[in-house]
C-alpha cells in the first residue's frame, strides 16, 4: 500500500525526468552560461575561466557602437516591414478566398512548401533569381528592354530583395492561420448580419475581423518573434551586405563569434536579442491568458442565463 502510493506520487516526476534533465543540460545551462559569458572578454582559444571579467563593458560598448545600432535598426525595420506585409497579404487573401472553392486543399498544401524547405535552400533559390545576369528577374527585364536592377549589390534593393524572399516564405503562414480562424467563426453571427442586410465589406469590418482578432494577434506575435530569428536566408543571399544594409542581429551575432572571434561581445548581443524576444513572448502569453479568461467568463455567464 505505502510503496504503491509512493510510486504514484513519484510517477509524474519519472515521466518528466528525462525532459527536465535534457532541457537543463542543453538549454537552461547554456543560457546561464551565455549571460555569464556576456560579462567577459573571451576568445575561442581560451578556456572560459581564463577570460577577463569586464563587467558591463560589452553591453556599454555595443550600445555606443554605431555599427551595432545600425544592425539593430535594420533588424527592427526588417521585422516591421515583413510582418506588416505578410499580415496584410495573408489576411487579405484569406478573406478573399474564404468560400467553397474546389482545389482549396491543394492550394493550402502547396502554400506550406516554402515554410518546410530549408532556409538555406530558400536563400539559394532567391540568390539565383536575383543573379545580375542569369537571374530570372533581370533576364525578364532585359527581354522587355528595361535596365537591369542591382538586386543584391545595392543597399536599398538588397533590403527589398530580402524582404520579398521572407514575404514569399511566410505569407502562407498568416494565410493558413487566418483561413482556419475564418472557418471556425460562428455561422449564426454571419447569418444574422446577412438578414440585417450587411454588405460584404460591413461583414468583414464589423464581424469577421473583430472575431478573428485573437488569432490575428497571436499570429502577429509569432511572426514577429520568428522575424527576429531570421538568419540563413539572409546569410546565403547577401551575407548582411552590401555594407550593413541587410545585417540583421542574428547574422551579426554569428559573424561576431565566427569571424571576429569575440565571444563575450557576441554573448552580450545574444542577450539583447533574447530580452527582446522574451518581452514579445510574455506579451503573447499574457494576451492568450486574458482571451481565455474572457471566453471562460462569457461561457459562465451564458450558462447562468
Partner 1 sequence: MSVQSNKSSSPAFYALMVCLIVMAMGPIMLMLATSFKTNVDVNDVAVGSFFFTPTIRNYEAVLCNVLWYAPASVDYCDPTFGRALGNSIFIALVSTAITLVVGCMAAYALVRFRFMGRGPISMTTLLMRMVPPAVLLVPVFGIWTFQYGLDGTYTGIILVYVAMNLPFVIWILQSFIVQVPIQLEEAAKMDGANPFQVFFLVVLPIIKPGLAAAAIFTFRIAWNEFLLSNALSGRSTRTVPVTIVNSITEYDIDWGVIMATGMLLAIPPVIFTFVASKQIITGMTAGAVKG
Site for partner 1 in 172-191 (CB under 8 A): 172-173, 176-177, 180-181, 184, 187
Residue 218 sits in the site that holds partner 1 (CB under 8 A): yes
Contacts of 181 (CB under 8 A, 6+ apart): 94, 211, 212, 215, 216
List the x/- string, 62-101, binding to partner 1 by CB under 8 A: -------------------------------x--xx-xxx
CA dihedral 84, 87, 89, 92 (to 10 degrees): -130
Closest CA to 224 of 174, 295, 299: 174
Residues 110-139 that bind partner 1 (CB under 8 A): 110-122, 124-129, 131, 133-134, 136, 139
Phi, psi (5° rounding) for residue 41? -100, 95
Least gap, CB of 81 to partner 1 (angstroms): 19
From CA 183, how far away is CA 166, in angstroms rounded?
A: 26
Least gap, CB of 19 to partner 1 (angstroms): 4
Cell of 196: 440585417
| Contact stretch for partner 1 (CB under 8 A) within 72-80, 152-160, 258-266, 296-304 | 258-266
Closest CA to 252 of 124, 28, 65: 65
| Contact stretch for partner 1 (CB under 8 A) within 70-78, 80-88, 152-160, 257-265 | 257-265
Residue 160 sits in the site that holds partner 1 (CB under 8 A): no
Residue 285 sits in the site that holds partner 1 (CB under 8 A): yes
Strand-pairing partners, residue 43, are none
CB atoms within 10 A of CB 92: 14
Number of chain positions touching partner 1 (CB under 8 A): 102
Residue 253 sits in the site that holds partner 1 (CB under 8 A): yes
Least gap, CB of 64 to partner 1 (angstroms): 21
Amino acid at each position: 500500500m505505502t510503496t504503491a502510493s509512493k510510486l504514484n506520487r513519484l510517477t509524474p516526476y519519472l515521466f518528466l525526468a528525462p525532459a527536465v534533465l535534457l532541457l537543463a543540460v542543453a538549454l537552461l545551462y547554456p543560457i546561464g552560461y551565455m549571460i555569464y559569458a556576456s560579462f567577459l572578454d573571451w576568445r575561442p582559444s581560451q578556456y572560459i575561466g581564463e577570460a577577463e571579467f569586464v563587467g558591463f563593458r560589452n553591453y556599454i560598448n555595443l550600445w555606443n557602437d554605431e555599427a551595432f545600432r545600425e544592425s539593430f535598426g535594420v533588424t527592427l525595420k526588417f521585422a516591421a516591414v515583413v510582418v506588416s506585409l505578410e499580415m496584410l497579404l495573408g489576411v487579405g487573401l484569406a478573406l478573399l478566398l474564404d468560400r467553397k472553392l474546389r482545389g482549396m486543399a491543394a492550394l493550402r498544401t502547396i502554400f506550406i512548401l516554402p515554410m518546410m524547405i530549408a532556409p538555406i535552400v530558400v536563400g539559394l533559390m532567391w540568390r539565383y533569381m536575383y543573379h545580375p545576369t542569369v537571374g530570372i528577374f533581370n533576364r525578364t527585364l532585359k527581354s522587355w528592354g528595361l535596365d537591369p536592377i542591382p538586386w543584391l549589390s545595392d543597399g536599398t534593393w538588397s533590403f527589398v530583395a530580402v524582404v520579398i524572399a521572407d514575404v514569399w516564405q511566410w505569407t502562407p503562414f498568416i494565410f493558413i492561420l487566418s483561413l482556419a480562424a475564418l472557418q471556425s467563426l460562428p455561422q449564426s453571427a454571419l447569418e444574422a448580419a446577412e438578414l440585417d442586410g450587411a454588405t460584404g465589406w460591413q461583414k468583414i469590418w464589423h464581424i469577421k475581423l473583430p472575431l478573428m482578432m485573437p488569432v490575428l494577434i497571436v499570429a502577429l506575435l509569432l511572426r514577429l518573434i520568428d522575424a527576429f530569428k531570421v538568419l540563413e536566408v539572409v546569410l546565403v543571399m547577401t551575407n548582411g551586405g552590401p555594407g550593413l544594409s541587410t545585417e540583421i542581429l542574428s547574422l551579426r551575432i554569428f559573424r561576431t563569434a565566427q569571424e571576429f572571434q569575440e565571444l563575450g561581445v557576441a554573448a552580450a548581443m545574444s542577450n539583447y536579442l533574447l530580452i527582446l524576444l522574451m518581452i514579445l513572448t510574455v506579451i503573447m502569453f499574457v494576451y492568450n491568458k486574458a482571451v481565455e479568461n474572457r471566453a471562460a467568463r462569457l461561457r459562465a455567464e451564458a450558462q447562468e442565463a
